[in-house]
């Protein structure tokens, strides 16, 4: 029995270490060493960009083989527990519990996936871990199975926890209805609400509790509406002196304190004057545009998530900002129409903050072909990925075959921001001018 206990303890220690190494691979390094690792990573990216531009016939080599000067990595004001959004999965744990709430280790291809509690992961705040533990307790009490593979049945799935510096906490439970009728679904929602309001889960003191019926890996609000079971429909965050409303699926930078530092730098590099128009592409809830609205004559925001645009408009009104307009829709559909007939004589500065998928080619083409845009700030969470394609499209020579007729941009400055301590990732702010 002692040998079994020792073996079990060793296995758990190995799994916990594997999770920490997978989610926060730099967690063992002192923070200054983490920043140096990230600086070297960003330097290689800029070297790659310089080489790729050279292949296009553009003389982009600067000292060190970089395409532009690279500043040191700006550190995060908060190093541990900085995440304001965490996504927890439900699957079999190291002890065999099929209702373990945590993060995955392993791969489907090797069939060695195990779900490990995230209590020791340093970038997740204790409040999120508390909600995850309570959710696990609830589904373990439930007679309904967890939904590990859709075709094998089961119901209880993902948990998303969002929190703010104002002390607000939102929990979103994803549930696969399978063949359950409306009455049975109503019963499960009532039990979930009771657990988090009157039962053991009340200790979480949730501001909002949402429930989403989802038959897919991910569903938007339009595909399957978020159902508010308890509390307020939104949580609120304060950033750079403004108050922002956040919906369940609205994008908000995962490190709020880090976002403040990033947005201040964006504001400085915009070199905006009183008559500048700021074009905020992939604007989310409007954080960048609204935080800079006092520096410019007008802000125009574009965002695909409809609920995020509703939040952006509310945020503008609540903060007394009247020089902003927001457009809901895919940037590749909205932006070309917006810029094709642009005749405003005021200076136009563009800020883009896309997802890891980068910008659609039609968005890049619209920016290139709009002569009024002389200054562009590109914020990328994965510059070595699809964003690299965008950088090349922005800087390549004109190509009439691709309807890319506008004057090319050139990278002039790069600043990395450590928005994700303990991980290998950081946010790169690249300034392009022409």
Lowest mean pLDDT, pick from 163-177, 182-196, 296-310: 296-310
**CA separation (Å) from 220 to 214, 249, 292?**
9, 7, 29
Please check if 353 is assigned to a binding site: yes
**Tokens, residue 377:** 């700030």
* Whole-number Å distance between alpha carbons of 188 and 173: 11
Look up 381 and say whether it is catalytic: yes
The arithmetic mean of pLDDT across residues 82-108, rounded, is 92
Residues contacting residue 91 through CB under 8 Å, at least 6 positions apart: 98, 100, 104, 113, 114, 115, 146, 148
The domain segmentation of the chain, as residue ranges, is: 85-238, 255-433
Mean pLDDT of 406-415: 96
Which of the following is catalytic: 67, 147, 204, 381? 381
Digit-coded pLDDT (tens) for 385-400 = 899 999 999 999 999 9
* pLDDT reported for residue 3: 46
Work out the average pLDDT over 222-250.
92
- Helix or strand run (H / E) with residue 10: helix 2-23
Residue 419: CB atoms within 10 A of its CB come to 24
CB 431 within 8 Å of CB 379 = no
- Distance between CA atoms of residues 94 and 106, nearest Å: 12
At 193 the pLDDT is: 98
Q: Percent of the chain beyond pLDDT 70?
A: 97
Instruction: Classify domain 255-433 at the CATH topology level.
Output: Rossmann fold (3.40.50)
Question: Residue range 175-199: average pLDDT?
Answer: 95
329 φ, ψ (degrees, to nearest 5): 145, 170
Residue 303 marked in a binding site: yes
* β-strand pairing of 156-163 with 85-91: antiparallel
Q: Do domains 85-238 and 255-433 have the same CATH topology?
A: no
- pLDDT one-digit tens code per residue, 217-234: 777 777 789 999 999 999
DSSP character string of 203-221: GG--SEEEEEE-SSS---T
In CATH, what class is 85-238?
Answer: mainly beta
Q: Is the pLDDT of residue 5 over 60?
A: no
Is 84 marked as binding a ligand?
A: no
Residue spans of alpha helices (H) in 279-425: 287-292, 306-318, 331-340, 361-369, 386-395
């Amino acid at each position: 029995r002692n040998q079994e206990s020792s073996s079990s303890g060793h296995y758990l220690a190995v799994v916990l270490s594997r999770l920490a190494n997978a989610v926060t691979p730099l967690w063992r390094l002192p923070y200054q060493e983490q920043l140096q690792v990230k600086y070297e990573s960003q330097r290689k990216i800029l070297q790659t960009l310089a080489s790729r531009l050279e292949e296009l016939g553009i003389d982009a080599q600067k000292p060190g083989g970089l395409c532009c000067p690279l500043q040191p990595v700006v550190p995060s004001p908060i190093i541990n527990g900085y995440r304001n959004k965490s996504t927890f999965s439900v699957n079999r744990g190291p002890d065999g519990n099929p209702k373990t709430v945590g993060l995955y280790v392993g791969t489907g291809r090797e069939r060695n996936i195990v779900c490990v509690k995230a209590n020791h992961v340093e970038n997740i705040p204790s409040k999120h871990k508390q909600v995850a533990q309570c959710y696990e307790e609830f589904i373990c009490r439930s007679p309904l199975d967890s939904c590990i593979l859709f075709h094998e049945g089961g119901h209880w799935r993902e948990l998303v926890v969002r929190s703010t510096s104002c002390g607000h906490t939102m929990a979103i439970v994803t549930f696969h209805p399978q063949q359950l009728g409306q009455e049975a679904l109503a019963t499960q929602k009532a039990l979930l609400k009771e657990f988090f309001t009157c039962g053991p889960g009340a200790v979480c003191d949730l501001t909002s509790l949402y429930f989403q019926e989802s038959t897919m890996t991910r569903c938007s609000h339009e595909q399957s509406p978020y159902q508010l079971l308890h509390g307020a429909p939104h949580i609120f965050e304060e950033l750079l002196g403004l108050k922002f409303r956040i919906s369940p699926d609205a994008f908000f930078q995962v490190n709020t304190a880090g976002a403040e530092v990033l947005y201040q730098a964006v504001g400085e590099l915009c070199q905006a004057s009183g008559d500048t128009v700021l074009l905020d592409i992939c604007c989310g809830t409007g954080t960048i545009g609204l935080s800079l609205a006092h520096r410019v004559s007008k802000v125009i925001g574009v965002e695909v998530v409809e609920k995020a645009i509703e939040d952006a408009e509310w945020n503008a009104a609540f903060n007394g900002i009247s020089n902003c307009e927001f457009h809901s829709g895919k940037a590749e559909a909205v932006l070309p129409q917006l810029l094709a007939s642009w005749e405003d004589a005021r200076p136009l500065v563009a800020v883009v903050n896309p997802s890891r998928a980068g910008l659609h080619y039609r968005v890049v083409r619209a920016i290139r072909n709009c002569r009024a845009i002389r200054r562009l700030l590109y914020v990328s969470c994965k510059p070595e990925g699809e964003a690299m394609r965008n950088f090349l499209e922005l800087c390549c020579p004109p190509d009439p075959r691709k309807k890319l007729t506008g004057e090319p941009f050139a990278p002039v400055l790069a600043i990395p921001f450590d928005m994700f301590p303990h991980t290998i990732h950081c946010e790169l702010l690249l300034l392009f001018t022409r």
